[in-house]
Amino acid sequence: MHVKPKKHLGQHFLKNPEICERIAAAMTGYGDYKTILEIGPGTGALTAWLLKLNAYTTHVAEIDTESVDYLRAYYPELRERIITKDFLQLPLNEMFDGQLAIAGNFPYNISSQILFKILDHKQQIPEMVGMFQKEVALRAAGNPGSKDYGILSVLLQAYYDAEYLFTVDEHEFDPPPKVKSGVIRIQRKPEQPFGCDEKKFKLVVKTAFNQRRKMLRGSIKSLLNPNVDITLPIFSMRPEQLSVQDFKDLTNMLSQ
Ligand code: SAH
C-alpha cells in the first residue's frame, strides 16, 4: 500500500524516524492533558512515536482518505480515534473533554490558521509541539528586536510561551518541501488578567505592524486621540522593538 503525496494537501512525509521521535519526546504533559490530537498524520510517521507515549491517548485528524485507509490498515489500535475531517472545521470543545495537546508535522498551507485556531481554543489547549515551515516557526517563537518578530509572535506570545526547538532539512521529507522546517513548542501562560482590552490590543498590534518600518506615532495615527502624549519615547519606536507588555501598555494609553 502506497500513499501518493498530494501537493494540494501539503503532503510531505517525514522519512527520518529520529526526527519523529524527537518531536514526540518534546511533549511534556504541561497543563495536565491526557489527550493528544495529531493534525495531519499522513502515513503515521510521527503517530507511531506518539502512540508509544503511555501517558497520553493519541487521536488524529486527517483529511486525506487515502492516508486514512493506510492508517486503518497499519495502525489497528488507532482505528477508533481517526477523525476523517479538516482540522480547521473541528468543534474541539464538543469532541474532547478536558485538556488537549496538539502535535504534528503540519500541512504548511494552513500553518497560520492552525495557530489561530489554537489561540481560539486556548482554554482547552495547554501545549502544542509541531513542525511548520521554518519561517513560520521562527515568527511564532520570535523575540522583540529580531527580524522574525511580528503580528503572529505578539498575538501568540500574549497567551503562550513559545520555544524554537530545532531545524529540519528539506531532505528529511518525501517529497522534499522547497523550504527548511522548524519545530516549536508552545505552552499556555498561567492564567492572569490580560491587563488591557484584548480586542483593542489585537487592533493595535496589527495596525502597528502593517507599517513596520514606521515609528509608532506614524503607523498608529488612526488610533491616537488628543489625550495621548505622542512625545513619549515609545512613539518613536518601531513595532518590532515592543514586547507583549509594551503593546499592552500602549493599548491602555490609547484607551484613555
Ligand atoms: N505527519 C505526516 C504527514 C505530514 S504532511 C508525516 O510527518 O509524514 C501533512 C498532512 O496533513 C498530510 O497527510 C495532509 O493530508 C494532512 N492535511 C492537510 N490539510 C489538512 C487539514 N485541513 N486537516 C487535517 N489534515 C490535513
- What pLDDT, in 10s, does the model give residues 119-159? 999 999 999 999 999 999 999 999 999 999 999 999 999 99
User: pLDDT by residue (tens digit) across 46-70?
Assistant: 999 999 999 999 999 999 999 999 9
Strand pairing report for 82-83 and 173-174: unpaired
Residue 98: predicted pLDDT = 95
Q: Which CATH number fits domain 198-254: 1.10.10.10, 3.40.190.80, 1.10.3720.10, 1.10.8.100?
A: 1.10.8.100
Is the minimum distance from the CB of 44 to ligand 1 under 6 angstroms? no
Residue 112 · residue 137 · CB < 8 Å: no
Interval between CA 55 and ligand 1 midpoint (Å): 24
Specify the CATH class of 7-188 in words.
alpha beta
Cell readout for 173 is 521529507
The confidence score (pLDDT) of residue 2 equals: 84
- What separation in Å is there between the alpha carbon of 44 and the centre of ligand 1? 10
For residue 154 and ligand 1, the question of a CB distance below 6 A is answered with no
Atom of ligand 1 nearest to the CA of 106: 9
Select from 9, 16, 87 the residue to mutate for testing ligand 1; criterion: most ligand atoms less than 8 Å from CB. 9
High-pLDDT (> 90) share of the chain, %: 97
Per-residue pLDDT, averaged over 80-101, amounts to 97
- What ligand 1 atom has the least distance to the C-alpha of 38? 1
Q: What is the pLDDT of residues 151-182, one digit of tens each?
A: 999 999 999 999 999 999 999 999 999 999 99
Angle of helix 244-254 relative to helix 198-210, nearest 10 degrees, comes to 110
Per-residue pLDDT at 196 exceeds 80 = yes
- The whole-model pTM stands at 0.96
CB 105 within 8 A of CB 145: no
How confident is the prediction for the chain on average, in pLDDT?
96
Which ligand 1 atom sits closest to the C-alpha of 108? 9
Q: What tens digit of pLDDT does each residue of 223-238 get?
A: 999 999 999 999 999 9
- Ligand 1: distance of its center to the CA of 67 in Å? 9
Compute the distance from residue 169 Cα to the ligand 1 centre, in Å: 18
DSSP assignment of 101-136 equals EEEEE--GGGHHHHHHHHHHTTTT--EEEEEEEHHH
The domain ranges of the chain are: 7-188, 198-254
Q: Whose C-alpha lies nearest to ligand 1, atom 18?
A: 9
